Amino acid sequence: MPIDTNDFKPTGLAGCRWNRRTRFAYFDVRGPKGRQRMLRAFESVEEAKAAFPDFRAEVKSGSHGVTCLPDRPQIVATETASVTIAEYVEAYWDSLHASCGATTIKTNGSSYRSHVKPFFGPKTIAAITEADCEDFAASMKTNGKAPCTTNLALRFLRKVLHHARRRKVRPDVPESFHFAKEDLLKLEMSDPEQIAFFAAFDDQEGFQRYLRETQGGGKIVRSSHFGFKERSFGGGLRPDGDAAKIYFQRYQRSRLIFTAAIDIGYRETDLRLLKRTAVDLKKGLVTIITKKTGKRATVALSDRCAAAIVTAMSHEVTSSEYVFVTDDGKPFSESTLRRHFAIAKRLAGITRRCRLNDLRHSFASNLASEGLSLLDIRDALGHTTVRMSERYAKPNEQSLERMREALNRRVSGLTSDRRSVERKVK
């Protein structure tokens, strides 16, 4: 994440800029070892301008002794009393994500730009307190942000503070420091919701009703070219037209990949790009190396999922290395899958928050409800830790009912034993 140089004003020296509010100078000089940048605190702009020539001379001679991150400013740890969280994050972005994957970096970048920076940006990193973090979480909730979004932002903020602790910028941050997380919403589909969801792919009448409700009628034009008769131009699909029928057939076909999503539990990208070579129908297994974690994820195919895969691979296309493809033999796009998922949800009457990736939660919940261990669920999901799998593996209503019945049987047995003992005593 490049530093925002708009916060630093020119000083009259090329390569030297100054931020009057934070009293930080931004040095940027190219030398024989490449481009060197440094962010450093000074008492005044005059002091910064006085120090810049020495820095420039060292860089030009190749003897610059300060280790700088490539293409990023380096904050001198002993002079960070007034550095803001925005300046710290932008200076140490690479270091913060040294061991993170591309997806995590992208997620943290979004959380930082959209939530953390607007709230904490002007605040110095040394002044952030737990009360500030609580206010931040409350602000996110007030603005209607989902608990998961809030937790991701808090996780990134905690990462920054621990990073600052290790560099003696915030030595008062305890190693066990963490924020109270927001309770997550119910993400997995219940059994009735799953039944209604898959039934929606056969509901052609409901699909036509959806088109009538969402498709525009086009522009009505009266012209001498048509004998001054009204003609409609543009607009959406006619619910009873041939194009709408083709659209419905394509929508129906996507049921195969949604079946796999809820019975295999792979992430959206892994599922879209699932290759035929990953499927072993004789053994009834599918195995991939997940793109996010690089972990092997092996899942036993249910009869329903195996039938869906066989149907998908029997599709008449010229050639394809993928299991789930469109009419032209290409993998489903993210936008197509999400659009079809939204239509099925609407026809099924599912109005609560439920995303395509939440079918992964449904998969884990189904396994947990049938008594599979967290280790088995971890391996199936391709997680690195059991703790991560705990977020997904939630018992459903049927398993809770079985729990209630087991407790009732236990209490009933104890009551019978007590009465038996009482009769013997008498």
Q: Are residues 143 and 30 in the same domain?
A: yes
Q: Which residues in the chain show pLDDT less than 50? A: 1-2, 65-72, 76-79
Q: How many domains does the chain have?
A: 2
CB 84 within 8 A of CB 22: yes
Amino acid 402: pLDDT: 61
180 occurs within a structural domain: no
The pLDDT score that the predictor gives to residue 71 is: 44
> In the prediction, which pLDDT does 216 show?
67
Domain boundary among 166, 183, 214: 166
- Choosing from 133, 166, 199, the residue where a domain stops is 166
Return the CATH number at 289. Answer: 1.10.443.10
- The β-bridge partners of 231 are 221
Q: How far apart are CA 321 and CA 215, in angstroms?
A: 35
Q: Which domain holds residue 256?
A: 191-395
With respect to residue 176, please indicate whether it lies within any of the assigned structural domains. no
Residue 290 falls inside a structural domain: yes
In the chain, count H helices and then E strands: 18, 9
Residue 384 is assigned to a structural domain of this protein: yes
Predicted pLDDT of residue 188: 75
Residues 234 and 124 in one domain: no
Q: Measured between alpha carbons, how far apart are the two ends of the chain, in Å?
A: 81
The pTM score is 0.56
Residues 297 and 342 in one domain: yes
What pLDDT does residue 413 have? 67
d(CA 186, CA 395): 11
Query: H or E stretch including 337?
Result: helix 334-348
Which pLDDT tens digit goes with each residue over 227-244? Answer: 667 766 656 677 788 888
Q: For residues 290 and 138, give the distance between their C-alpha atoms in angstroms, rounded to a whole number.
A: 35
